[in-house]
Amino acid sequence: FSSAILPAWARKSPQMSEVLPLLYLHGLSTSDFGPALEQFLGSGAGLSATTITRLTAQWQDEARAFAARDLSDSDYVYLWVDGIHLKVRLDQEKLCLLVMLGVRADGRKELVAITDGYRESTESWADLLRDCKRRGMTAPVLAVGDGALGFWKAVREVFPKTKEQRCWFHKQA
């Protein structure tokens, strides 16, 4: 027998490894993974609590490594920034994710940083920008963002030579 889904000797598909972090990011608790996946894979294809715990630890390690990586080789010409507000659990207030996308001189777009912040406060943005600078990021030529005042004050403090532009999408909305 040769499976069209699983490579030889594999216990789960590579696609499953890509879906699980998405479930986690969308707020599904790890104890709910099994019942959720049963709907797609059948009752015999659940994941053990040990596997879910191991995968969660792996994702957390990957997130820490991403957040600590060296940015000294970055040549970001533009930065796009935004705060994304998510409701993680029903009994909690919304979480604000601060997101920075960079565009290199050759046009490649990259996720520079993503972290949680207190609303879109100046201090939250300044902490994120100072961290990127500490890890070697140089001042971009231009920063593009919405009308949230916290980012603009922070970028003036950390990268004073960076030019500012209001995002057209946010301006028209």
**pLDDT tens track, the chain, 173 positions:** 555 555 565 556 666 667 777 776 666 776 777 777 666 666 665 567 777 778 778 888 988 999 999 999 999 999 999 988 877 665 667 778 899 999 999 999 999 999 987 778 899 999 999 999 999 999 999 999 987 778 999 999 999 999 988 776 655 55
Residues 64 and 82 occupy one common structural domain: no
Residue 41 vs residues 15, 44, 72, 83, 142: alpha-carbon distances, Å: 13, 8, 44, 36, 47
For 29, other C-beta atoms within 10 Å of its C-beta total 11
86 is a domain residue: yes
3 is a domain residue: no
The continuous run of DSSP H or E covering 75 comes out as none
Handedness of CA 146, 123, 94, 26 (dihedral sign): positive
pTM for the model: 0.74
Q: Which residue, chain included where needed, has tokens 């777009």?
A: 109
Residues 59 and 84 occupy one common structural domain: no
Reduced to 3 states, what is the DSSP secondary structure of residue 140? Answer: coil
165 is a domain residue: yes
8 is a domain residue: no
Instruction: Please say which residue of 22, 46, 68 terminates a domain.
Output: 68
Phi, psi of 76 (to 5 degrees): -70, 125
pLDDT the model gives residue 110:
95
pLDDT the model gives residue 117:
79
Domain coverage including residue 94: 76-172
Instruction: Please say which residue of 27, 52, 68 terminates a domain.
Output: 68
Residues 126 and 146 occupy one common structural domain: yes
Residues 99 and 158 occupy one common structural domain: yes
pLDDT the model gives residue 108:
95
Q: Are 171 and 144 within 8 A, CB to CB?
A: no
pLDDT the model gives residue 52:
74
pLDDT the model gives residue 96:
84
138 is a domain residue: yes
Handedness of CA 60, 63, 67, 73 (dihedral sign): positive
Residues 83 and 26 occupy one common structural domain: no
Q: Name the E strands within the chain.
A: 76-86, 95-104, 109-117, 142-145, 163-166
7 is a domain residue: no
